[in-house]
Amino acid sequence: MDFFKGIGDRAKEFSGRAKEATRRPTELLELTKLRYEVTKLYKVMENNKEAVGELVYRQFKGELGLEAEIERLLQNTKKVESDIINIEQQIEALQPKPLVCPRCEVELPSGGIYCYKCGIQVGTKEEAEQQDDNTAKKETGSESSEEKNDKKDEQK
């Protein structure tokens, strides 16, 4: 029985910390933390369900007095599940959205100022500088954009 109690308590601890993480979800670090948190919660869900399964089976075989523990675990699992949904929504909101050219509607690499296809301005210098590191690695020359153009045409 202690084994199952332990699982429930750990689950509670995780949901508590998940709330903590929701407070200032502004930075990339936060995104990493949320992903980590959600992975842990999935693990807790898995453990809970396994424990419930075990308890239900013992009940099926005739063991008495397990209802309360099963109920507790189920409630806890429900709570963890709603925490997961909550965190996944936050992750979704923090996820950088792909930049799309308003004129030709091609998806553009993040951090660009001009559309590689039609050349209109799609971002500001400030925005581009904010994404400094990633952009520097991605933008290795104009050849890559031509390649993308070719692929786009093939798909049509």
Shortest reach from residue 116's CB to Zn ion, in Å: 8
| 3 state DSSP class of 100 | strand
Q: Is 31:45 a contact under the CB 8 Å cutoff?
A: no
Shortest reach from residue 155's CB to Zn ion, in Å: 17
Residues found near Zn ion in the complex (CB under 5 A): 101, 103-104, 115, 117-118
Helices (H), the chain: 2-21, 28-60, 67-94, 125-130, 132-138, 143-155
Shortest reach from residue 138's CB to Zn ion, in Å: 18
Shortest reach from residue 39's CB to Zn ion, in Å: 38
Shortest reach from residue 131's CB to Zn ion, in Å: 19
Q: Which is nearer to Zn ion, 52 or 115 (CB)?
A: 115
Q: Which is nearer to Zn ion, 23 or 151 (CB)?
A: 151
Q: Which is nearer to Zn ion, 56 or 104 (CB)?
A: 104
Q: Which is nearer to Zn ion, 10 or 117 (CB)?
A: 117
Q: How far apart are alpha carbons 71 and 48 in whole angstroms? A: 11
Q: Which is nearer to Zn ion, 49 or 103 (CB)?
A: 103
Tally of CB atoms within 10 A around 120: 11
Q: How far apart are alpha carbons 90 and 67 in whole angstroms? A: 35
Q: Is 90:22 a contact under the CB 8 Å cutoff?
A: yes
